Structure 1
């Protein structure tokens, strides 16, 4: 077994924060060393926990629409890696899911990222992932997403695609009018092998 495969085995067997997880541990990641796109999200929701499939919900439908790719391409681990800040469903709070468990990223993230040598595009979704991947961005989520040209073409900060963010999308029409078409072109170029854009 390779180091990468053994690392994934260890991740999927992780029980580090089991006592804090209302539905128990169920680490959900999608990784292959050949992946060209990295989706850095927050943590699985309840539906994802139940199915074991990342972004297998309304958030995933919207995210795939933003990226302009099919479910088949999205779930091809050879092309798309999905690595949330927390690998397990953290539970539900008063206004949605709880934050990713703080134990997860320090335990696993650097090890896993070091295995992904072919990433050409990293999508940084939501505040928790942005705090980790874009630590110099200290403004609001809107300000961070508006700063996308600064990181283009290799990193793109995005809002969470959850239906809870419908109002944000409506209030920020520039996002779907300006950023999403650029993002779709970039995704197509990366997956098509043309990384000159």
Structure 2
């Protein structure tokens, strides 16, 4: 079932006429995934390589999670489902927003086929606006209130180098929130590994 759905997503042409570089959906999922990462949309490098979070943002995210690439790209452990599956193109300042068609079209169907997800990281305002109905108006206030949704959903800033200043101004995020996520993720993944031995 999930393999069929992923195949449909890979062949999706819904937004073709909006995408300067054409469609190239980038998604990673398994029915056994334990952690779900919902970000924004692939950047140019991810579009070119078809590897999610294959950029400096991904390096910082893996550092936050203390995961190497072999675990991060193991779909049996981690699902990566962006708000927009294809590179949306370049805007005046940074990339364009994720295409709005993807999440309503695919997310619910994907999530229903991943029953073992124990924590979802909502990275950036697009994911938070879509999934957190009762959130504050700003990303900073939303992330400050992370315990309201933990452990099922954790709102996070984007790990982009563009957010380095935000991280310096909000040291509490890497001091409080990141260790909580890291501990939960490793306990959850290790628990699963011990079962398979």
- TM-score class normalised by the smaller sequence: over 0.9
Residue in 1 that maps onto 2:39: 41
Equivalent position of 1:89 in the other structure: 87
Q: Quote how far apart the aligned CAs of 1:104 are.
A: 1.1
TM-score, reference length from structure 1 = 0.95
Q: Does 1:68 align with 2:73?
A: no
The runs of 5 or more residues in structure 1 that have no matched partner are none
Deviation at 1:138, TM superposition (A): 3.5
Q: CA deviation at 1:146?
A: 0.5
Runs (4+) of structure 1 exceeding 3 A deviation are: none
Paired position in structure 2 for 1:137: 135
The 2-side partners of 1:14 and 1:161 are apart by 28
Instruction: Give 2:16's aligned residue.
Output: 18
Which of 124, 127, 135 is residue 126 of structure 1 equivalent to? 124
> How far did 1:182 drift?
1.5
Q: How far does the alpha carbon of each residue in 1:25-52 deviate from its partner, in whole angstroms, 9 at most, with x for none?
A: 0000001110000001110000000000
CA shift digits 1:94-144 (9 cap, x unpaired): 111110001111111111111110001110000000011112113200001
Task: Report the counterpart of residue 163 of structure 1 in structure 2.
Answer: 161
Residues matched between the structures, number: 192
Question: C-alpha root-mean-square deviation of aligned residues, in Å?
Answer: 1.0
Alignment match of 2:184 (pick from 178, 182, 186): 186
